[in-house]
């Protein structure tokens, strides 16, 4: 580590680590950070005394982009950009004035906070605050001290291998590091809800395996690309993501030709669940995730969801279940998927939609209607023709 270098400091404080010890948690978090930063430049990720340090290894490394990636990495409570300085009070004063010159020259008030983790440093914290504070008052004639409500807070930390100066911490993405919560099959449409469901489950440390049903020529290549774009948009949060595309045309045509129109959507959704379950198990997933929300559409009433869930023996997680559309939209804007989700391409769910879908179906009714189909052969055929799409991140 060089002194006089800008870097990112990550601190997790007291994390809720039930069931996972701190070392495992931090080791996975460091691995995820290395992976998330790998594609944007050369960075060193190191852990020391419950702080994780992200150092640029080259002069041209983009620290703005790295900070953005850090802010989207789950398992981080708070982080800050910092400057590393030699552990000498004069050097610290000069570095504070230089590092904060843009904000301090525009501010009216400030305060200095000091933490001395390295007790061998000869100056106690109050002395560090007083010395740095005086130096800044001398340097910036516009400034006054306000310890209660300052415009700018300058933090000085004396640690084992250097002094660090930084502003107040920024909130991290929270949650658990990806990979600590197992793996789930994500039913991903091109809509607004399922990318939000993906984000919410990834936040709990779950690795995602995307599953998308496509019905060409009723759905276009562009609709499939939209799903790839959505997944790429959330990979800074989800880390690694896979996407499997299941050809769904034959299944939908068979339902259209042989089943009652009012049951079409529900039978189709039961087929989605069957295919997703088989595929998810093959990919070592332990549960399925959907973007369903109670009452949003006819197929999302409680009886309808009970009927679709009846064909799978995997747990089905629906993180949006109790949310209003407005709340879902707010998250989708925050994670940057909204603008892609509203691109107008057909989803297979909107192909052959019944005029009067049933909202209170009975399981027996659906099982009866499905007898007109060779369910197993249709599922097998769809899975045989399933293909993997490459996701960039």
Task: List binders of Mg ion among 32-91 (CB under 5 A).
Answer: none
The residues pairing with 316 across neighbouring beta strands, listed in sequence order, are: 288
185 binds, among ligand ATP, Mg ion, none (CB under 5 to 8 A by kind): none
Q: SS3 for 225?
A: helix
Query: Where do contacts with ligand ATP occur on this chain (CB under 6 A)?
Result: 187-189, 191-194, 211-213, 290-292, 296-297, 299, 347-349
290 binds, among Mg ion, ligand ATP, none (CB under 5 to 8 A by kind): ligand ATP
> Strand pairing of 241-247 and 170-174?
unpaired
CB 289 within 8 A of CB 198: yes
Please say which residue, 80 or 290, places its beta carbon nearer to Mg ion.
Answer: 290
Q: How far is the CB of 328 from ligand ATP (least distance, A)?
A: 8
365 binds, among Mg ion, ligand ATP, none (CB under 5 to 8 A by kind): none
Distance CA 391, CA 243 (A): 7
Q: How far is the CB of 187 from ligand ATP (least distance, A)?
A: 3
Output the CA–CA distances (angstroms, integers) from residue 339 to 115, 192, 233, 350, 389, in the order listed. Answer: 44, 9, 11, 20, 21
Q: How many residues form the binding site for Mg ion (CB under 5 A)?
A: 3
CB 270 within 8 A of CB 377: no
CB 132 within 8 A of CB 174: no
> Strand pairing of 387-389 and 5-11?
unpaired
Among the candidate windows 22-30, 218-226, 331-339, 344-352, which touches Mg ion by CB under 5 A?
344-352
Q: How far is the CB of 81 from ligand ATP (least distance, A)?
A: 35
Among the candidate windows 79-87, 91-99, 204-212, 343-351, which touches Mg ion by CB under 5 A?
343-351
Q: How far is the CB of 109 from Mg ion (least distance, A)?
A: 51
Please say which residue, 157 or 193, places its beta carbon nearer to ligand ATP.
Answer: 193
100 binds, among Mg ion, ligand ATP, none (CB under 5 to 8 A by kind): none
75 binds, among ligand ATP, Mg ion, none (CB under 5 to 8 A by kind): none
DSSP one-letter string for 287-317: EEE----TTSSGGGSHHHHHHHHTT--S-EE
The residues pairing with 56 across neighbouring beta strands, listed in sequence order, are: 43
Please say which residue, 269 or 274, places its beta carbon nearer to Mg ion.
Answer: 269
210 binds, among ligand ATP, Mg ion, none (CB under 5 to 8 A by kind): none
Cα first-last separation, the chain? 28
Q: SS3 for 17?
A: coil
Task: List binders of Mg ion among 172-201 (CB under 5 A).
Answer: 189, 191
Please say which residue, 54 or 331, places its beta carbon nearer to ligand ATP.
Answer: 331
- Report residue 82 as tokens: 């910092």
Q: Which residue is nearest to Mg ion (CB)?
A: 191
Tokens 């270098």 belong to residue: 5
Q: How far is the CB of 192 from ligand ATP (least distance, A)?
A: 4
198 binds, among Mg ion, ligand ATP, none (CB under 5 to 8 A by kind): none
135 binds, among Mg ion, ligand ATP, none (CB under 5 to 8 A by kind): none
Please say which residue, 30 or 366, places its beta carbon nearer to ligand ATP.
Answer: 366
Q: How far is the CB of 258 from ligand ATP (least distance, A)?
A: 21
Q: How far is the CB of 392 from Mg ion (least distance, A)?
A: 23
Please say which residue, 5 or 225, places its beta carbon nearer to ligand ATP.
Answer: 225
Beta strands in the chain (DSSP E): 5-11, 43-48, 51-56, 76-85, 109-116, 144-145, 152-159, 162-166, 170-174, 183-187, 207-214, 241-247, 287-289, 316-317, 387-389
CB 196 within 8 A of CB 337: yes
Q: How far is the CB of 301 from ligand ATP (least distance, A)?
A: 11
Distance CA 234, CA 243 (A): 13
Q: Is 286 exposed, middle or buried (0-12, 13-18, 19+ CB in 10 A)?
A: middle
Q: How far is the CB of 156 from Mg ion (least distance, A)?
A: 51
224 binds, among Mg ion, ligand ATP, none (CB under 5 to 8 A by kind): none
- Report residue 76 as tokens: 């981080």
Binding residues for Mg ion, per CB under 5 A?
189, 191, 347
């Amino acid at each position: 580590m060089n002194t006089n270098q800008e870097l990112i400091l990550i601190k997790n404080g007291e994390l809720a680590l039930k069931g996972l010890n701190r070392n495992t948690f931090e080791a996975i978090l460091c691995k995820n950070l290395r992976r998330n930063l790998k594609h944007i430049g050369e960075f060193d990720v190191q852990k020391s005394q419950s702080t994780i340090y992200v150092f640029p290894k080259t002069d041209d490394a983009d620290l703005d982009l790295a900070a953005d990636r850090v802010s989207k990495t789950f398992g981080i409570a708070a982080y800050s950009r910092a400057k590393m300085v030699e552990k000498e009070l004069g050097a610290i004063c000069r570095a504070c004035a230089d590092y904060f010159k843009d904000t301090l020259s525009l501010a009216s008030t400030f305060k200095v906070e000091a933490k001395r983790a390295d007790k061998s440093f000869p100056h106690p914290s109050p002395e560090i605050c007083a010395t740095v504070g005086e130096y800044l008052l001398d340097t910036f004639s516009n400034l006054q001290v306000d310890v209660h409500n300052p415009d700018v807070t300058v933090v000085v930390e004396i640690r084992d291998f250097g002094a660090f100066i930084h502003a107040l911490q920024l909130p991290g993405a929270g949650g658990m590091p990806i990979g600590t919560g197992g793996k789930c099959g994500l039913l991903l449409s091109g809509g607004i809800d399922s990318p939000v469901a993906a984000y919410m489950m990834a936040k709990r440390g779950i690795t995602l395996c995307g599953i998308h049903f496509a019905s060409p020529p009723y759905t276009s290549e562009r609709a499939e690309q939209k799903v790839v774009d959505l997944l790429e948009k959330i990979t800074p949060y989800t880390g690694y993501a896979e996407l499997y595309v299941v050809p769904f045309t034959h299944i939908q045509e068979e339902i259209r030709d042989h089943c009652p129109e009012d049951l079409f959507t529900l039978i189709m959704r039961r087929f989605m669940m069957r295919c997703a379950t088989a595929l998810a198990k093959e990919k070592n997933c332990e549960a399925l995730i959907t973007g369903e929300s109670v009452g949003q559409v006819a197929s999302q009433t409680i009886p309808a969801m009970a009927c679709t869930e009846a064909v799978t023996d995997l747990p089905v997680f629906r993180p949006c279940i109790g949310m209003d559309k407005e709340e879902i939209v707010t998250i989708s804007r925050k994670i940057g998927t909204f603008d892609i989700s509203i691109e107008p391409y057909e989803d297979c769910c909107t192909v052959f939609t019944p005029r009067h879908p049933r909202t209170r179906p009975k399981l027996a009714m659906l099982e009866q209607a499905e007898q007109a189909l060779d369910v197993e052969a249709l599922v097998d055929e769809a899975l045989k023709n399933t293909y993997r799409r490459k996701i960039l991140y």
